[in-house]
Amino acid sequence: MLTKINGLIAAPFTPMQIDGSLNLALIPKYAEMLIHNHVQGAFVAGSTGEGVSMSYDEKTEVIKAWGSISDSRLIKIAMVGGNSVAEMKQLAQLAYQQKFDAIAILAPHYFILNKAEVLAQICIEVGKTVPNMGLYFYHIPVLTGISVSMIEFLEKINNQLPNFLGIKYTHHDMMEFNRCLNFENGKYDILWGWDEVFLGGMAMGARGGVGSTFNYAAPLYHQLIDSFHNGDLVQARKLQEKSIEIVQLLGKYGGIATGKAFMRAIGLDCGHFRLPVQNMNELQYEAFLEDLARIDFYRFASRFQ
């Protein structure tokens, strides 16, 4: 079973054809690119991977496609969460069969969940179906609207599920993040989830992170990590500012779908996002490429062999 993760876990985009169908043939090349850029793993079918926009059958196909990647240098985590606990269990069992290293659960967000105890019960129920596989909780209240205290959650699940590994923490509450890191003397793996303030997460104690920009700008974050560990905070701040410039382009061109434009720019065309996410048109893409040159993006971009 996984121990604590150090380094970058990319949240890969799910490749799509022009008609919006899955383009799973691209995944082996995608995995090779991540490995070549020293990314530690792939967080499959999360927000970036459009897991919530896929049918159950499509999710199984994506999990199987990434499951076929057998290179031990790439950790594989499947996001199985959603509103159906029964579906979570089925996808968790599939991920185990496909030799994933761990699964992640997203809080149900239709029937509003507001108690840490209930969240712990869901994780325990799903986790018991795959006792030899690690489980993370994916905390992203900006999208789910679920803002249960993560400290209370850790208190409720502590010692109740042997294969519970920790939290993917995508939230701005640095105090709570620090408390989670230090819970029971650092017992659990708390992965940082905000790329544009990765330096702040490391300063609080993060050693592993999951992010979308790690797909196409992994060298930037490796340099940032090295600068931090070498005590060169001036350089680390400059590199974080470059990360912020990249993330600002996401906002400028409409949000999460801009990530696939970054992938196209580095040579791995993953198609468009599905509705309700809006994609840029070709005129916007040309302007986007000019912005990439303006911020010197290719100096820090992920590369192929």
Would residue 96 show up in a list of annotated catalytic residues for this protein?
no
All residues at 6 or more sequence positions from 1 whose CB lies less than 8 Å from its CB, including other chains: 101, 132, 133, 134, 163, 165
- Give, as one character, the DSSP assignment of residue 51: G
Report DSSP state, residue 161. -
Q: Give the rounded distance of the alpha carbon of 211 from its chain centre.
A: 5
Angle at 158 between CA 155 and CA 160, to 5 degrees: 130
Best CA proximity match to 157, nearest among 146, 148, 166: 166
Check: CB of residue 85 under 8 Å from CB of residue 93. no
CA distances from 186 to 24, 101, 117, 201 (A): 38, 21, 21, 15
Report in angstroms the alpha-carbon separations of 105 from 19, 45, 184, 240.
29, 11, 22, 29
Picking from 38, 23, 30, 18, the residue whose alpha carbon sits closest to that of residue 268 is 30
Q: Is 138 a catalytic residue?
A: yes
* Backbone dihedral angles phi then psi of residue 106, each to the nearest 5 degrees: -100, 140
- From 233, 231, 191, select the one nearest 214 (Cα to Cα): 191
How far apart, in whole angstroms, are the C-alpha atoms of residue 297 and residue 143? 28
The packing angle between helices 150-157 and 174-181, to 10°, is: 20
Give the active site residue among 59, 76, 156, 168: 168
Task: Exactly one of 30, 96, 136, 138 is catalytic; name it.
Answer: 138
Residues that are catalytic: 138, 168
